Structure 1
Amino acid sequence: MDSKAMKVPLFDNAASHRAKVTTDKLAQLGHVHMPHPPYSPDISPCDFHYFLSLQDFIVGRDTRTQADLDNHNEHWISTRPKQFRYDAIRKLADRWQQVIDLNGEYIPHHR
């Protein structure tokens, strides 16, 4: 399959993403807007991929001050390989399918 055909823009339900001018332009460019719930931790890459990894990274570290947290967060961000971000996007399709298979019910385990 053509790699260009595999690209799917990800929009949430922000007003600017739902605006007629935005949806009209996307349609003009050949993109289909795929609506989804206003918020679902099951399909948010930040929740099911990034935050779990950051949580695992933070466990056992000194987090008594905001400076400690900031330093750990910056270290975590700077040490994520490029593949980490690619994996988050690749997992989206699987997460979407799980949500469909469960008729929108909560996915109990994020791991």
Structure 2
Amino acid sequence: MYTAKTTRFGEKKIIFHQDNARVHTCVKAMAKINELKYDLLPHPPYSSDLAPSDFHLFPKLKIFLGGQKFATNDEVIAAVEEYFASLERNRFMEGITALERRWNKCVEVHGDYVEK
């Protein structure tokens, strides 16, 4: 996930967020991020509250697919495509905004799962 941010000099800068899975942090992936001059947000310890796909996309997709039976992979793919096509475009922006709120809360409590 990424967002464009304007610097104080009016330049657009990409801020990139990814989880810390090996495939995302391997030398080749990190070299590409550096080559593109993206700023990479540090990833906090795992929390489902902060995984964009876990808290925003997949729970509702799971409900949508619940109870259905599929005979082929193509049927599953068609159902998932139908689900995403039915979403309004602003739904994704809402998810990013919610992630930002959760991220800020995590920073405020210094990464702890509960406030002390």
Note whether the superposition's TM-score is higher than 0.5: yes
Instruction: Report the TM range for the smaller structure's normalisation.
Output: 0.5 to 0.7
- Paired residue for 2:69, among 38, 61, 64? 64
TM-score (norm 1): 0.62
- Paired residue for 2:6, among 4, 13, 37? 4
Q: Which has the higher strand share?
A: 2
Q: 1:1-111 to 2 correspondence within 5 Å?
A: 4-5=6-7, 8-13=15-20, 14=24, 15=26, 16-19=28-31, 22-23=33-34, 25-26=36-37, 31-37=38-44, 39-59=46-66, 62-67=67-72, 69-106=76-113
Greater relative contact order (Cα < 8 A, sep 6+) = 1
Q: Deviations over 1:47-69 (max 9, x none)?
A: 1110122123234xx42335464
- Amino acid across the alignment from 2:6: K
Instruction: Provide closer, same or farther for how the CA distance between residues 38 and 100 of structure 1 changes in structure 2, counting only shifts above 3 A.
Output: closer
* Contact preservation (8 Å) 1:42, 1:106: no
Give unpaired runs (5+ residues) of structure 2: 8-12
* Contact preservation (8 Å) 2:65, 2:79: yes
Q: How many residues align?
A: 98
Give unpaired runs (5+ residues) of structure 1: none
> Whole-Å Cα distance in 1 between the matches of residues 106 and 87 of structure 2?
27
Q: Which has the higher helix share?
A: 1
